Amino acid sequence: MNPGSAFILPGLRTPFTKMDRELARFDGLALSAPVIQQTVAGDRGPGRDAAARIDLVLWGAVIPSLTASNWGREVWFESGLYPGVPAQGIVQACATSLAAATHAAGQVGAGRADLVLCGGVESMSHTQIGLSQGLSRKIRWAGRAGSFPRMVRTLGDIRPRDLRISVPAVAERTTGKTMGEHAEEMAREWGIPREAQDRLALASHEGATRDGGKFFRSLLVTPGTFPVDGDTLPRSGTSLEKLTGLRPAFSRSAGTLTAGNSSPLTDGAAACWVASEAGLSTLPDALPRARLLDWSQAAIDPEREGLLIAPAIAIARLLHRHGLSLDDIGMWEIHEAFAAQVLCTVAALESPEWLAARSPAKDGLGAFPRERINPNGGSVALGHPFGATGARILSQTVVELASRPAGTRAIVSVCAAGGLGHVALLEAV
Protein backbone atom coordinates (compact mmCIF):
# COMPACT_ATOMS: atom_id res chain seq x y z
CA MET A 1 0.00 0.00 0.00
CA ASN A 2 1.50 3.32 -1.08
CA PRO A 3 -1.04 6.15 -1.08
CA GLY A 4 1.66 8.79 -1.54
CA SER A 5 -0.35 10.59 -4.21
CA ALA A 6 -3.36 11.15 -1.94
CA PHE A 7 -3.98 14.50 -0.24
CA ILE A 8 -6.45 15.47 2.47
CA LEU A 9 -8.09 18.91 2.31
CA PRO A 10 -10.50 20.36 4.87
CA GLY A 11 -14.21 20.57 4.31
CA LEU A 12 -16.83 22.28 6.42
CA ARG A 13 -18.90 21.04 9.33
CA THR A 14 -21.91 22.00 11.37
CA PRO A 15 -21.48 23.35 14.86
CA PHE A 16 -21.49 20.40 17.27
CA THR A 17 -24.18 20.47 19.95
CA LYS A 18 -25.36 18.16 22.67
CA MET A 19 -28.08 15.66 21.81
CA ASP A 20 -31.63 17.03 22.16
CA ARG A 21 -30.45 20.63 22.23
CA GLU A 22 -29.90 23.26 19.54
CA LEU A 23 -29.80 20.92 16.52
CA ALA A 24 -32.49 18.51 17.74
CA ARG A 25 -34.96 19.31 14.96
CA PHE A 26 -32.46 18.44 12.19
CA ASP A 27 -32.18 14.81 11.14
CA GLY A 28 -29.08 13.38 9.49
CA LEU A 29 -30.13 14.49 6.01
CA ALA A 30 -30.87 18.04 7.14
CA LEU A 31 -27.53 18.26 8.96
CA SER A 32 -25.54 16.86 6.04
CA ALA A 33 -27.01 18.71 3.06
CA PRO A 34 -25.82 22.25 3.97
CA VAL A 35 -22.35 20.91 4.83
CA ILE A 36 -22.09 19.23 1.43
CA GLN A 37 -23.59 22.18 -0.48
CA GLN A 38 -21.26 24.73 1.08
CA THR A 39 -18.18 22.49 0.91
CA VAL A 40 -18.73 21.81 -2.80
CA ALA A 41 -20.17 25.12 -3.99
CA GLY A 42 -18.31 27.52 -1.67
CA ASP A 43 -14.66 28.47 -1.38
CA ARG A 44 -13.65 24.94 -0.32
CA GLY A 45 -14.86 23.09 -3.38
CA PRO A 46 -14.88 23.07 -7.18
CA GLY A 47 -18.10 25.08 -7.32
CA ARG A 48 -21.68 24.05 -8.03
CA ASP A 49 -21.18 24.02 -11.82
CA ALA A 50 -18.11 21.78 -11.47
CA ALA A 51 -19.69 19.31 -9.04
CA ALA A 52 -19.75 16.74 -11.85
CA ARG A 53 -15.96 16.55 -11.57
CA ILE A 54 -16.27 14.80 -8.21
CA ASP A 55 -15.58 11.10 -8.77
CA LEU A 56 -17.19 9.70 -5.65
CA VAL A 57 -18.99 10.64 -2.44
CA LEU A 58 -18.45 8.52 0.68
CA TRP A 59 -20.67 9.47 3.61
CA GLY A 60 -21.54 7.55 6.75
CA ALA A 61 -23.65 7.39 9.88
CA VAL A 62 -23.50 4.87 12.69
CA ILE A 63 -26.99 4.80 14.21
CA PRO A 64 -29.35 2.90 11.87
CA SER A 65 -32.15 4.88 10.22
CA LEU A 66 -35.34 3.78 8.50
CA THR A 67 -35.22 6.83 6.23
CA ALA A 68 -31.75 6.34 4.72
CA SER A 69 -29.76 3.15 4.22
CA ASN A 70 -27.26 4.38 1.63
CA TRP A 71 -26.32 7.59 3.39
CA GLY A 72 -23.91 8.70 0.69
CA ARG A 73 -26.51 8.65 -2.04
CA GLU A 74 -29.33 10.11 0.04
CA VAL A 75 -27.35 13.07 1.40
CA TRP A 76 -26.04 13.78 -2.11
CA PHE A 77 -29.59 13.83 -3.45
CA GLU A 78 -30.61 16.04 -0.51
CA SER A 79 -27.85 18.51 -1.40
CA GLY A 80 -29.44 19.08 -4.81
CA LEU A 81 -26.13 18.84 -6.67
CA TYR A 82 -25.29 17.00 -9.90
CA PRO A 83 -26.99 13.57 -9.52
CA GLY A 84 -24.52 11.78 -11.81
CA VAL A 85 -21.87 11.51 -9.06
CA PRO A 86 -21.67 7.98 -7.55
CA ALA A 87 -22.20 7.97 -3.79
CA GLN A 88 -22.22 5.29 -1.15
CA GLY A 89 -22.59 4.87 2.57
CA ILE A 90 -19.79 3.66 4.79
CA VAL A 91 -19.68 2.75 8.46
CA GLN A 92 -17.00 1.82 10.97
CA ALA A 93 -18.47 3.04 14.27
CA CYS A 94 -16.59 6.10 15.58
CA ALA A 95 -14.00 5.81 12.77
CA THR A 96 -16.65 6.02 10.03
CA SER A 97 -15.54 9.17 8.21
CA LEU A 98 -11.84 8.39 8.74
CA ALA A 99 -12.55 5.04 7.11
CA ALA A 100 -14.26 6.93 4.29
CA ALA A 101 -11.11 9.01 3.76
CA THR A 102 -8.69 6.08 3.74
CA HIS A 103 -11.00 4.10 1.45
CA ALA A 104 -11.01 7.13 -0.87
CA ALA A 105 -7.21 7.33 -0.66
CA GLY A 106 -7.02 3.72 -1.79
CA GLN A 107 -9.11 4.64 -4.85
CA VAL A 108 -6.90 7.65 -5.51
CA GLY A 109 -3.69 5.69 -5.03
CA ALA A 110 -4.92 3.05 -7.48
CA GLY A 111 -5.65 5.72 -10.09
CA ARG A 112 -9.41 5.12 -10.01
CA ALA A 113 -10.40 8.53 -8.61
CA ASP A 114 -9.01 12.05 -8.50
CA LEU A 115 -11.48 13.82 -6.22
CA VAL A 116 -13.59 12.25 -3.46
CA LEU A 117 -15.87 14.00 -0.98
CA CYS A 118 -15.87 12.19 2.36
CA GLY A 119 -17.72 12.74 5.60
CA GLY A 120 -20.39 11.64 7.97
CA VAL A 121 -23.17 12.63 10.28
CA GLU A 122 -24.92 11.67 13.47
CA SER A 123 -28.22 13.00 14.70
CA MET A 124 -28.38 11.43 18.12
CA SER A 125 -31.57 13.43 18.69
CA HIS A 126 -33.22 11.35 15.94
CA THR A 127 -32.29 7.88 17.14
CA GLN A 128 -35.14 5.60 16.13
CA ILE A 129 -36.69 3.07 18.50
CA GLY A 130 -37.08 -0.53 17.30
CA LEU A 131 -40.10 -2.75 17.85
CA SER A 132 -39.85 -6.42 18.81
CA GLN A 133 -39.78 -8.87 15.93
CA GLY A 134 -43.20 -10.21 16.92
CA LEU A 135 -44.83 -6.78 16.98
CA SER A 136 -43.16 -5.74 13.72
CA ARG A 137 -44.41 -8.89 12.00
CA LYS A 138 -48.01 -8.48 13.18
CA ILE A 139 -48.12 -4.82 12.20
CA ARG A 140 -46.83 -5.75 8.73
CA TRP A 141 -49.51 -8.43 8.43
CA ALA A 142 -52.17 -5.95 9.53
CA GLY A 143 -50.99 -3.47 6.90
CA ARG A 144 -51.68 -5.93 4.11
CA ALA A 145 -54.78 -7.54 5.63
CA GLY A 146 -56.99 -6.31 2.78
CA SER A 147 -59.98 -5.35 4.92
CA PHE A 148 -60.60 -3.47 8.13
CA PRO A 149 -62.08 -6.48 10.03
CA ARG A 150 -59.07 -8.67 9.12
CA MET A 151 -56.72 -5.88 10.18
CA VAL A 152 -58.47 -5.63 13.55
CA ARG A 153 -58.28 -9.41 14.04
CA THR A 154 -54.57 -9.40 13.21
CA LEU A 155 -53.84 -6.57 15.64
CA GLY A 156 -55.89 -8.44 18.23
CA ASP A 157 -53.29 -11.21 18.15
CA ILE A 158 -50.68 -8.88 19.66
CA ARG A 159 -49.56 -10.22 23.05
CA PRO A 160 -47.84 -8.42 25.97
CA ARG A 161 -44.58 -10.20 25.13
CA ASP A 162 -44.69 -8.50 21.71
CA LEU A 163 -44.67 -5.01 23.22
CA ARG A 164 -40.97 -4.88 23.95
CA ILE A 165 -39.03 -2.08 22.28
CA SER A 166 -35.37 -1.79 21.42
CA VAL A 167 -33.56 1.43 22.28
CA PRO A 168 -30.10 1.71 20.63
CA ALA A 169 -27.41 1.94 23.31
CA VAL A 170 -23.73 2.87 23.27
CA ALA A 171 -22.84 -0.67 24.25
CA GLU A 172 -21.11 -3.70 22.80
CA ARG A 173 -23.39 -6.41 21.51
CA THR A 174 -20.77 -9.07 22.29
CA THR A 175 -20.08 -8.05 25.89
CA GLY A 176 -23.25 -6.18 26.88
CA LYS A 177 -21.13 -3.46 28.48
CA THR A 178 -21.30 0.23 27.64
CA MET A 179 -18.30 2.06 26.24
CA GLY A 180 -17.93 3.84 29.56
CA GLU A 181 -17.83 0.55 31.47
CA HIS A 182 -15.14 -0.75 29.14
CA ALA A 183 -13.17 2.47 29.53
CA GLU A 184 -13.42 2.16 33.33
CA GLU A 185 -11.91 -1.30 33.06
CA MET A 186 -9.08 0.07 30.92
CA ALA A 187 -8.39 2.88 33.39
CA ARG A 188 -8.11 0.35 36.22
CA GLU A 189 -5.92 -2.00 34.19
CA TRP A 190 -3.49 0.75 33.21
CA GLY A 191 -3.62 2.59 36.53
CA ILE A 192 -4.88 5.87 35.05
CA PRO A 193 -5.83 8.17 37.96
CA ARG A 194 -8.84 10.46 37.99
CA GLU A 195 -6.70 13.59 38.21
CA ALA A 196 -4.83 12.77 35.00
CA GLN A 197 -8.14 12.28 33.20
CA ASP A 198 -9.50 15.58 34.46
CA ARG A 199 -6.33 17.41 33.47
CA LEU A 200 -6.57 16.07 29.92
CA ALA A 201 -10.23 17.09 29.81
CA LEU A 202 -9.32 20.57 30.99
CA ALA A 203 -6.64 20.83 28.29
CA SER A 204 -9.23 19.78 25.70
CA HIS A 205 -11.58 22.61 26.72
CA GLU A 206 -8.73 25.12 26.89
CA GLY A 207 -7.59 24.19 23.37
CA ALA A 208 -11.10 24.34 21.96
CA THR A 209 -11.89 27.75 23.49
CA ARG A 210 -8.55 29.47 22.88
CA ASP A 211 -9.14 32.95 21.43
CA GLY A 212 -12.86 32.38 21.64
CA GLY A 213 -12.69 29.31 19.40
CA LYS A 214 -11.17 31.34 16.57
CA PHE A 215 -9.38 28.30 15.11
CA PHE A 216 -12.69 26.66 14.15
CA ARG A 217 -14.46 29.59 12.49
CA SER A 218 -13.16 28.82 9.02
CA LEU A 219 -14.19 25.19 9.42
CA LEU A 220 -17.86 25.87 10.18
CA VAL A 221 -20.71 26.40 7.74
CA THR A 222 -21.90 29.92 6.98
CA PRO A 223 -23.35 31.73 10.02
CA GLY A 224 -27.12 31.52 10.06
CA THR A 225 -27.27 28.09 8.45
CA PHE A 226 -28.25 26.55 11.80
CA PRO A 227 -29.71 28.02 15.01
CA VAL A 228 -26.20 28.31 16.48
CA ASP A 229 -23.04 29.46 14.71
CA GLY A 230 -20.46 27.80 16.95
CA ASP A 231 -19.85 24.68 18.99
CA THR A 232 -21.89 24.80 22.19
CA LEU A 233 -20.07 22.14 24.20
CA PRO A 234 -16.59 23.64 24.90
CA ARG A 235 -16.44 25.44 28.25
CA SER A 236 -14.05 28.38 28.63
CA GLY A 237 -14.92 28.72 32.31
CA THR A 238 -14.26 25.16 33.38
CA SER A 239 -11.48 24.39 35.84
CA LEU A 240 -9.79 21.43 37.44
CA GLU A 241 -11.79 22.11 40.59
CA LYS A 242 -15.10 21.93 38.69
CA LEU A 243 -14.09 18.75 36.90
CA THR A 244 -12.91 17.15 40.12
CA GLY A 245 -16.29 17.80 41.73
CA LEU A 246 -18.24 15.70 39.21
CA ARG A 247 -19.52 12.28 40.21
CA PRO A 248 -18.53 9.03 38.43
CA ALA A 249 -20.80 8.35 35.46
CA PHE A 250 -20.29 4.63 34.84
CA SER A 251 -19.46 3.16 38.25
CA ARG A 252 -21.17 3.91 41.54
CA SER A 253 -18.18 3.13 43.74
CA ALA A 254 -14.60 3.69 42.61
CA GLY A 255 -15.23 4.97 39.11
CA THR A 256 -12.97 7.64 37.59
CA LEU A 257 -14.89 8.49 34.41
CA THR A 258 -17.32 11.40 34.63
CA ALA A 259 -19.44 13.52 32.32
CA GLY A 260 -16.57 15.99 32.40
CA ASN A 261 -13.81 13.69 31.15
CA SER A 262 -15.95 11.74 28.66
CA SER A 263 -17.26 12.81 25.25
CA PRO A 264 -20.97 13.70 25.23
CA LEU A 265 -23.64 12.34 22.86
CA THR A 266 -23.63 14.88 20.06
CA ASP A 267 -25.41 16.01 16.88
CA GLY A 268 -23.38 17.14 13.89
CA ALA A 269 -22.01 16.53 10.39
CA ALA A 270 -18.56 17.08 8.85
CA ALA A 271 -16.84 16.77 5.47
CA CYS A 272 -13.35 16.62 3.99
CA TRP A 273 -11.74 16.07 0.60
CA VAL A 274 -9.39 13.36 -0.65
CA ALA A 275 -7.61 14.26 -3.89
CA SER A 276 -4.85 13.15 -6.23
CA GLU A 277 -2.32 15.56 -7.71
CA ALA A 278 -4.69 16.02 -10.63
CA GLY A 279 -7.67 16.42 -8.31
CA LEU A 280 -5.95 19.28 -6.48
CA SER A 281 -6.34 21.43 -9.60
CA THR A 282 -10.10 21.16 -9.20
CA LEU A 283 -10.01 22.75 -5.73
CA PRO A 284 -9.03 26.32 -4.75
CA ASP A 285 -5.28 26.89 -4.52
CA ALA A 286 -5.67 28.61 -1.15
CA LEU A 287 -7.25 25.55 0.47
CA PRO A 288 -4.83 23.90 2.94
CA ARG A 289 -3.73 20.39 2.12
CA ALA A 290 -1.65 17.61 3.66
CA ARG A 291 -0.22 14.48 2.12
CA LEU A 292 -1.74 11.24 3.40
CA LEU A 293 1.35 9.08 3.70
CA ASP A 294 -0.19 5.89 5.02
CA TRP A 295 -2.80 4.39 7.32
CA SER A 296 -3.29 1.34 9.48
CA GLN A 297 -6.08 -0.58 11.19
CA ALA A 298 -6.00 -2.99 14.11
CA ALA A 299 -8.43 -5.07 16.13
CA ILE A 300 -8.42 -6.73 19.54
CA ASP A 301 -10.60 -9.24 21.37
CA PRO A 302 -12.81 -7.16 23.72
CA GLU A 303 -13.12 -10.14 26.04
CA ARG A 304 -9.36 -10.20 26.61
CA GLU A 305 -8.10 -6.62 26.19
CA GLY A 306 -9.34 -3.11 26.67
CA LEU A 307 -12.06 -2.38 24.10
CA LEU A 308 -10.53 0.93 22.96
CA ILE A 309 -6.81 0.04 22.99
CA ALA A 310 -6.53 -1.13 19.35
CA PRO A 311 -5.27 2.26 18.05
CA ALA A 312 -2.02 1.71 19.97
CA ILE A 313 -1.37 -1.43 17.92
CA ALA A 314 -2.24 0.34 14.66
CA ILE A 315 0.03 3.28 15.54
CA ALA A 316 2.93 0.98 16.42
CA ARG A 317 2.59 -0.87 13.11
CA LEU A 318 2.40 2.38 11.18
CA LEU A 319 5.45 3.93 12.83
CA HIS A 320 7.48 0.74 12.48
CA ARG A 321 6.64 0.54 8.78
CA HIS A 322 8.12 4.03 8.29
CA GLY A 323 11.01 3.70 10.74
CA LEU A 324 9.62 6.43 13.00
CA SER A 325 9.53 6.93 16.75
CA LEU A 326 6.84 8.64 18.79
CA ASP A 327 8.94 11.79 18.95
CA ASP A 328 9.11 11.99 15.14
CA ILE A 329 5.44 12.93 15.06
CA GLY A 330 4.98 16.68 15.41
CA MET A 331 1.27 16.57 16.22
CA TRP A 332 -1.10 13.94 17.56
CA GLU A 333 -4.83 14.16 16.96
CA ILE A 334 -6.28 11.40 19.11
CA HIS A 335 -10.04 11.01 19.32
CA GLU A 336 -11.09 11.54 22.93
CA ALA A 337 -13.91 9.08 23.41
CA PHE A 338 -12.79 9.30 27.03
CA ALA A 339 -9.77 11.01 28.55
CA ALA A 340 -8.93 7.65 30.13
CA GLN A 341 -8.85 5.93 26.73
CA VAL A 342 -6.37 8.51 25.37
CA LEU A 343 -4.12 8.05 28.40
CA CYS A 344 -4.31 4.26 28.11
CA THR A 345 -3.23 4.52 24.48
CA VAL A 346 -0.29 6.70 25.49
CA ALA A 347 0.70 4.27 28.26
CA ALA A 348 0.53 1.31 25.88
CA LEU A 349 2.71 3.08 23.31
CA GLU A 350 5.31 3.75 25.99
CA SER A 351 5.43 0.11 27.10
CA PRO A 352 8.08 -1.90 25.20
CA GLU A 353 6.77 -5.12 26.72
CA TRP A 354 3.17 -4.48 25.66
CA LEU A 355 4.24 -3.44 22.15
CA ALA A 356 6.60 -6.38 21.68
CA ALA A 357 3.78 -8.84 22.31
CA ARG A 358 1.41 -7.18 19.81
CA SER A 359 3.37 -5.34 17.12
CA PRO A 360 6.64 -5.32 15.15
CA ALA A 361 8.00 -2.58 17.47
CA LYS A 362 10.08 -5.02 19.50
CA ASP A 363 12.41 -2.35 20.92
CA GLY A 364 9.71 0.16 21.85
CA LEU A 365 8.95 3.54 20.33
CA GLY A 366 10.34 5.92 22.94
CA ALA A 367 8.63 8.45 25.19
CA PHE A 368 5.32 9.95 24.13
CA PRO A 369 5.34 13.76 23.59
CA ARG A 370 2.20 14.47 25.60
CA GLU A 371 2.33 18.20 24.95
CA ARG A 372 1.60 17.54 21.26
CA ILE A 373 -1.81 15.94 21.78
CA ASN A 374 -4.89 17.72 20.38
CA PRO A 375 -3.57 21.31 20.38
CA ASN A 376 -7.02 22.69 19.53
CA GLY A 377 -9.08 20.42 21.73
CA GLY A 378 -10.67 17.06 21.13
CA SER A 379 -13.93 15.18 21.43
CA VAL A 380 -14.26 15.63 25.20
CA ALA A 381 -14.67 19.36 24.65
CA LEU A 382 -16.03 19.54 21.10
CA GLY A 383 -18.39 16.58 21.19
CA HIS A 384 -18.58 13.33 19.25
CA PRO A 385 -21.19 12.82 16.51
CA PHE A 386 -20.08 9.27 15.69
CA GLY A 387 -20.17 9.43 11.90
CA ALA A 388 -18.71 12.95 11.71
CA THR A 389 -15.76 12.78 14.09
CA GLY A 390 -13.20 11.37 11.65
CA ALA A 391 -13.79 14.12 9.08
CA ARG A 392 -13.76 16.75 11.82
CA ILE A 393 -10.38 15.54 13.05
CA LEU A 394 -8.89 15.26 9.55
CA SER A 395 -9.94 18.79 8.59
CA GLN A 396 -8.71 20.12 11.90
CA THR A 397 -5.35 18.39 11.44
CA VAL A 398 -4.81 19.69 7.93
CA VAL A 399 -5.51 23.29 8.95
CA GLU A 400 -3.13 22.98 11.90
CA LEU A 401 -0.40 21.41 9.73
CA ALA A 402 -0.68 24.33 7.30
CA SER A 403 0.84 26.56 9.99
CA ARG A 404 3.81 24.22 10.51
CA PRO A 405 6.96 23.60 8.46
CA ALA A 406 6.75 21.33 5.44
CA GLY A 407 7.53 17.76 6.40
CA THR A 408 5.93 18.00 9.83
CA ARG A 409 4.07 14.76 10.44
CA ALA A 410 0.81 14.20 12.26
CA ILE A 411 -1.02 11.08 13.32
CA VAL A 412 -4.81 10.93 13.44
CA SER A 413 -6.09 8.14 15.67
CA VAL A 414 -9.67 6.98 16.25
CA CYS A 415 -10.82 4.10 18.44
CA ALA A 416 -14.05 2.37 17.44
CA ALA A 417 -16.63 -0.02 18.81
CA GLY A 418 -15.93 -3.68 18.29
CA GLY A 419 -12.34 -3.37 19.52
CA LEU A 420 -11.14 -1.51 16.41
CA GLY A 421 -8.51 1.15 15.84
CA HIS A 422 -8.03 3.23 12.68
CA VAL A 423 -5.08 5.62 12.31
CA ALA A 424 -3.55 7.74 9.55
CA LEU A 425 -0.17 9.39 8.98
CA LEU A 426 -0.23 12.87 7.42
CA GLU A 427 2.54 15.24 6.36
CA ALA A 428 2.57 19.00 5.89
CA VAL A 429 3.36 20.09 2.30
Specify the range with the lowest mean pLDDT, choosing from 68-72, 124-128, 166-170, 311-315: 166-170
pLDDT attached to residue 171: 82
Side-chain half-sphere exposure of 21, counting CA atoms within 13 A: 15
Specify the range with the lowest mean pLDDT, choosing from 33-47, 141-155, 343-357: 141-155
Q: How many domains does the chain have?
A: 2
CATH number of the CATH domain containing 306: 3.40.47.10
Specify the range with the lowest mean pLDDT, choosing from 86-95, 121-130, 338-347: 121-130
* Mean of all residue pLDDT scores within the chain: 94
Catalytic-residue membership of 94: yes
* pLDDT tens figures, 255-283: 999 999 999 999 999 999 999 999 999 99
Pairing of strands 420-428, 409-416: antiparallel
Residue 371 lies in a domain: yes
414 and 349 share one domain: yes
Catalytic-residue membership of 344: no
pLDDT attached to residue 378: 98
Catalytic-residue membership of 126: no
207 and 139 share one domain: no
* pLDDT tens figures, 220-253: 999 999 999 999 999 999 999 999 999 999 877 7
Point out the catalytic residue in the list 94, 118, 272, 344.
Answer: 94
Point out the catalytic residue in the list 103, 126, 415, 422.
Answer: 415
**pTM confidence score:** 0.94
Point out the catalytic residue in the list 103, 126, 384, 422.
Answer: 384
Cα 336 from Cα 343, distance rounded (Å): 10
425 touches 318 (CB < 8 A): yes
320 and 380 share one domain: yes
296 and 359 share one domain: yes
Indicate the pLDDT class of residue 167, thresholds 50, 70 and 90. Answer: low
Residue 17 lies in a domain: no
**Domain interval for residue 356:** 179-217+291-428
* pLDDT tens figures, 368-381: 999 999 999 999 99
Residue 303 lies in a domain: yes
